[in-house]
Amino acid sequence: MKVFVLGASGLIGHAVCEALARRGHTLITLRHQSPLRARGIEEVVEVDGTDLPKLTQAIIELWPDALVNAAAISSPEAVEKNPKLAERLNVALPRQLAQITSHLGTRFIHLSTDMVFDGTPENAPFRSTDLPNPKNLYGQLKLMAEREVLEHNTEDPVVLRLTLTNGNSPGGVRSVHEKLLHAIARGERPTLYSDELRQPCSAENVGDAITELVERRDLHGIFHWAGSETITRYALGQRILQNFSLSPDLIQEGSLADSGEQPREACHLAFTLDPLVGKLKTLPASIERQISELSIPPALRDWYAQARR
Ligand SMILES: NC(=O)c1ccc[n+]([C@@H]2O[C@H](COP(=O)([O-])OP(=O)(O)OC[C@H]3O[C@@H](n4cnc5c(N)ncnc54)[C@H](OP(=O)(O)O)[C@@H]3O)[C@@H](O)[C@H]2O)c1
């Protein structure tokens, strides 16, 4: 299949490209600012994702069989800093992509987030049919995008909600362990919460699941994908440090309830993976598997040589 991937330089888009290439699909990607490092890319379109007329023209000319949208302002902090840009990229772009793919008969996979839910412990784990209730602007915009996608592409869309994602990003700065290690290398001692429960997935595993979804045109609607286990943020941080033989004292344990941050109450963002988990060959990855695949970001190798125990 001819597959157009937006966000190919990002943590998840890169892994999607690698997985699609392994399956022999023809890859077209959009390049924004960061270099594209995935293997097997056959054609690159140079356009900003907020330039909707130019992007629309490019997609119509290329007429892909499938389009995966992994482009976004992907951190809640960046969304708060630039809400107008975030609205254009996280809502207006997917709306337009839904319209064009519907028009062209192109399979459309759009990525969303567990943060469309409020994380209330009594309501977890969250099913794809549960009522969303986002607690921050990032989650609100992602929820708006989900609704736009399903409204404007009624034939062949998938909205795939993902959780906190592990992996090695192409630039070495975007995934959980990369952000953590960069903060430690800057001399910070990050506080991670022991009352924030997540169900992390890995970018590589998500890439395989999305590739199957590209190929499986019988699956439509909103689905959840995550890893096979839940873990607190603090315990995840400790597992990462242990994996790299770094001191456990490099991070400190905190409580979201005492932090003054929103949401203040304990946050439990776990998913029920039915019905997707029974329909794909890809299986959710264990935390051990996810962590064993992590590597030290290239920019931190000198620091790491000094810091490891
Ligand atoms: N990572 C997670 O933990 C996580 C969890 C749940 C859901 N998700 C969702 O998964 C998707 C991918 O997330 P990610 O973590 O892979 O994000 P990421 O690593 O931050 O990558 C974002 C991608 O979007 C591109 N992009 C940003 N601005 C653009 C613009 N104006 N025009 C075109 N492209 C632009 C970036 O390209 P440049 O680098 O060139 O700007 C990059 O390729 C998002 O929808 C996110 O909400 C992520």
* Domains located in the chain, CATH noted: 2-172+201-229+270-285 (3.40.50.720)
207 contacts: CB under 8 Å, gap ≥ 6 = 12, 15, 16, 17, 18, 19, 20
User: For residues 240-269, b (16+ Cβ closer than 10 Å) or e, as one string?
Assistant: bbeebebeeebbeebebeeeeeeeeebbbb
Given pLDDT bands bounded at 50, 70 and 90, which one contains residue 259?
confident
Given pLDDT bands bounded at 50, 70 and 90, which one contains residue 263?
low
Q: Which of 4, 6, 12 should be mutated for ligand 1, with most atoms under 8 A from CB?
A: 12
The answer to whether the CB of 89 is under 6 A from ligand 1 is: yes
Q: What is the mean pLDDT of residues 232-239?
A: 98
Give the Cα-Cα-Cα angle 85, 88, 167 (nearest 5 degrees). Answer: 75
pLDDT in tens, 134-148: 999 999 999 999 999
Given pLDDT bands bounded at 50, 70 and 90, which one contains residue 156?
confident
Q: With 90 as the cut, is the pLDDT of residue 119 above it? A: yes
Given pLDDT bands bounded at 50, 70 and 90, which one contains residue 265?
low
The answer to whether the CB of 68 is under 6 A from ligand 1 is: no
Contact 225, 206 (CB under 8 A): yes
Give residue 261's pLDDT.
Answer: 73
The answer to whether the CB of 74 is under 6 A from ligand 1 is: yes
Tokens of 82: 């630039």
Q: Closest ligand 1 atom to the C-alpha of 34?
A: 40
Given pLDDT bands bounded at 50, 70 and 90, which one contains residue 294?
very high
Q: What is the mean pLDDT of residues 16-44?
A: 96
With tokens 């915009």, the residue in question is: 141
Q: With 80 as the cut, is the pLDDT of residue 99 above it? A: yes
The answer to whether the CB of 90 is under 6 A from ligand 1 is: no
The answer to whether the CB of 227 is under 6 A from ligand 1 is: no
Q: Point out the least confidently predicted range of 22-26, 126-130, 257-261, 270-274.
A: 257-261
Give residue 258's pLDDT.
Answer: 83
